[in-house]
Amino acid sequence: MISWLTWFSMGIVFLFTIWIIQHYASKSTSIFVYIFVFLGYFLAFVLVVLLPYDIYLSIEDNLPNIKDLRFVLSIIWRVIYWTVFVLCWVILPIIQEYEMAGDFIWSSRLKSALFRHLRGFLITGVIGIACLGYLFYKGKLTIINTPVFLVVLSNCWGLLLIIVLLGYGIIEIPRQFWKAGNNSTRLCDLYIKTSFMSEDMVETKFALDEIVKLVNAASFLLPKNSELQENMNFILSLVPIEMIEHQRAMQTQLSKDAANQLGKITLERLVSLHKDLKDTLSEYQRSKYRWDSLIEKAIDLEDIITASDSPFKRIVYSFKESKSGCLARLREINEWYWLTRIKPCLFRTLGLLFIIMSILVILGEATLFLEFPIGVFPLMFRESYGDYGTQFLCMIPLSYIILCTFFGIFNLKLSGWYGLYPNNHTDPSNLVWSAFFMARLSAPLCYNFFLFIKVKNTVYSEEMEIIDLVPVVGGSFATFFPLLLVIFALLNIFHAYGRFMSAIGMTKLSFSDKYTSDKIGDGKLIVQRARTEREKKLAAYDRRGTIEMGKTGNQDVRSEFQFKRSII
């Protein structure tokens, strides 16, 4: 039987998956999306959770029932692998297309989703069929082992994503922790992000205004007795009231330019308009949320830096209530020591530790083609340390590689296409995208990790030996391609990754974080303006509260305005 530690890890993964979905999924997410996204996340994690136990069985060959255990594990590997394969290449992409479709009834949305997915398959299928024909001609493949080709393609694509994400994570995680160890450096970083986010939000707001202008014009031009009026009303219900009122005040419904862009108002035109509105409105709402979050963090960090030399050992926040209660003063002192003294030292220490881990990961990935082990991690698995000892040791490098890879996923922000946003700001289509993105990474990540620690004869690696049947993109690709990790790491060190990906036409794999020191001043001015606006609102609330208390003498009004002050 599988050890209790593996079952315990699966239980932790189960709860963690539930938390991720609840934390990121928007309130509008339907139940069937929740179910399939959960399956995508959970099964992808389970594949990784099984790694330590598989490694233990490959090292410890003296167990009396070793053959039975390996047989059971091989069945589990196959079932989960092919389930994840179908999820990430067929089911989840169709669900994502369904959520992105602009059709007004579910059957039309499903037809659109199937058509778009099949069209994508046909484009890539032409290349795949040509490769299959060549391999059949050379005798490398037969009808029976044709699924091998699908495994190889999936592994190649997943490995490409892993190296790109890993090349970002192994640099950015130590960098982020090192920055967090200096509040002034971290504040400058927030200024830069705020400046870029402001530019993105302005661009998205402009695009949304243009679409709302078309929606407003369409509602004016469409006859009231049209059979499409119900669909038009549904589109209007999605537009924020203040935006549609602004367009009507500007009389954009009379614009000839808008009428020319719309053309004849048909069902297909409304479907397209509905889809564009959904995508752009979601992107604007996410941009605004991220901007508000950055502003709040920057203002709080400014208050922390101001209080760092306070003789009273107290942080006075501009827009948060002071602590109250019998232990308020003790909590204030503990908070001051933690944010100004302990946390910076702790994060700098963790930053140094992660730098060492990153160097070891790069060293291991760049030497996969060598038979003998180089680096600390491969040497750790020359012998068995028992069931639990071996699995715990395995979790050290595995956890860091997973952290770096998935850190890249959660920081991969593609405007209008993909992004994960916390506090329930991730719409269903992006949530599904993240699920099949992660599912596509799990199996190649497992195979890469076995090569990384140079443990042979594992159950999973034996199952994956079939990829050696395919030349060029088979086992040799998995061994030599990770050498590119060195290049990606260097590009991220010198902040040249984005320019490089744009040059080779792969902007879809760009990350959200940008670094330009020239933007520090712009970001600081933006934060100062936001602070001033909040102070004006706060002053207005205070004046209103004083007037109301003067009129009514009701002390509850003061509590109400104190509450409003805390949430501005």
Q: CA angle at residue 314 from 349 to 336, to 5 degrees?
A: 15
Check: CB of residue 304 under 8 Å from CB of residue 315. Answer: yes
**Are the C-beta atoms of residues 470 and 152 closer than 8 Å to each other?**
yes
Q: What is the DSSP letter of 421?
A: -
Answer yes or no: do 354 and 416 share one domain: yes
Distance CA 377, CA 509 (A): 29
Q: Is residue 420 part of a domain?
A: yes
* Residue 396 to residues 70, 457, 485, Cα–Cα distance (Å): 23, 21, 20
Q: Is residue 19 part of a domain?
A: yes
**CA within 13 Å, CB half, 389:** 8
CB 23 within 8 A of CB 421: no
Please classify residue 454 by burial: count the beta carbons closer than 10 Å to its beta carbon, then call 0-12 exposed, 13-18 middle and 19+ buried.
buried
Burial-class residue 221 by CB neighbours within 10 Å (0-12, 13-18, 19+): middle
Structure tokens, 380: 């750790």
**546 in any annotated domain:** yes
| Same-domain check for residues 410 and 455 | yes
Structural domain that includes position 550: 528-567
Is 219 contained in some domain? no
Whether residue 201 contacts residue 530, with contact meaning beta carbons closer than 8 Å, is answered with no
144 plus 81 within the same structural domain: yes
Q: How far apart are CA 153 and CA 478, in angstroms?
A: 11
Closest CA to 459 of 15, 70, 63: 70
Residue 259 in domain: no
Q: Which one of 479, 509, 539 terminates a domain?
A: 509
308 close to 340: Cβ distance less than 8 angstroms: yes
Confidence (pLDDT) at 567: 38
Distance CA 566, CA 559 (A): 11
Same domain, 441 and 362: yes
For residues 461 and 540, state if they share a domain.
no
Task: Kindly compute the dihedral angle of the four CA atoms of residues 495, 498, 500, 504, in this order, to the nearest 10 degrees.
Answer: 170
Tell me how far apart the alpha carbons of residues 463 and 148 are, in angstroms, rounded to a whole number: 11
481 and 82 in contact (C-beta within 8 Å)?
no
d(CA 77, CA 472) in angstroms, rounded, equals: 25
Q: Specify if 363 maps to a domain.
A: yes
Closest CA relative to residue 154, chosen from 456, 447, 460: 447
C-alpha distances in angstroms, 338 versus 218, 284, 318, 335?
57, 35, 19, 5
User: Do residue 35 and residue 99 come from a single domain?
Assistant: yes
**Tokens standing for 309?**
């030399």
The kind and range of the H/E element at 274 are helix 267-306
Query: Which token pair is 511?
Result: 């990350």
Distance CA(306)–CA(262), nearest Å, equals 54
Pick from 80, 122, 125, 115: nearest CA to 94:
115
Residue 260 domain-assigned?
no
Q: Say what the pLDDT of residue 525 is.
A: 95
The pLDDT tens digits along the chain (568 residues) read 678 888 899 999 999 999 999 998 988 889 999 999 999 999 999 999 999 999 998 888 777 788 888 899 999 998 998 899 899 888 998 998 898 888 888 888 888 888 887 776 666 666 666 666 666 666 655 655 566 666 777 788 888 888 888 998 999 999 999 999 999 999 999 999 899 889 888 998 999 999 999 998 888 888 888 899 999 999 999 998 888 888 888 876 667 777 788 888 899 999 999 999 998 888 888 888 889 999 999 999 999 999 998 898 999 998 888 777 778 889 999 999 999 999 999 999 999 999 999 999 999 888 888 877 777 888 888 888 888 899 999 999 999 999 998 887 777 655 445 667 788 888 888 889 889 888 888 888 988 898 898 888 888 888 777 666 665 555 677 788 888 899 989 988 888 877 776 676 666 566 655 567 778 999 999 999 999 998 888 887 767 665 555 555 544 434 444 433 443 3
DSSP-derived 3-state class of residue 145:
coil
Same domain, 413 and 447: yes
Number of structural domains (the chain) is 2
What type of residue is 562? Answer: Q
Helices (H) and strands (E) in the chain, counts: 23, 0
User: Taking each helix axis from N to C terminus, what angle separates 92-100 and 267-306, rounded to the nearest 10 degrees?
Assistant: 100
| 492 and 544 assigned to the same domain | no
For residues 409 and 545, membership in a common domain is answered with no
541 and 439 in a common domain = no
Q: What confidence score (pLDDT) does residue 252 get? A: 67
Give me the pLDDT at residue 235, please.
92
560 with 416, same domain? no
Do 42 and 160 belong together in one domain?
A: yes
Is there a domain that residue 284 lies in?
Answer: no
Rounded to whole angstroms, the Cα distance separating 28 from 25 reads: 8
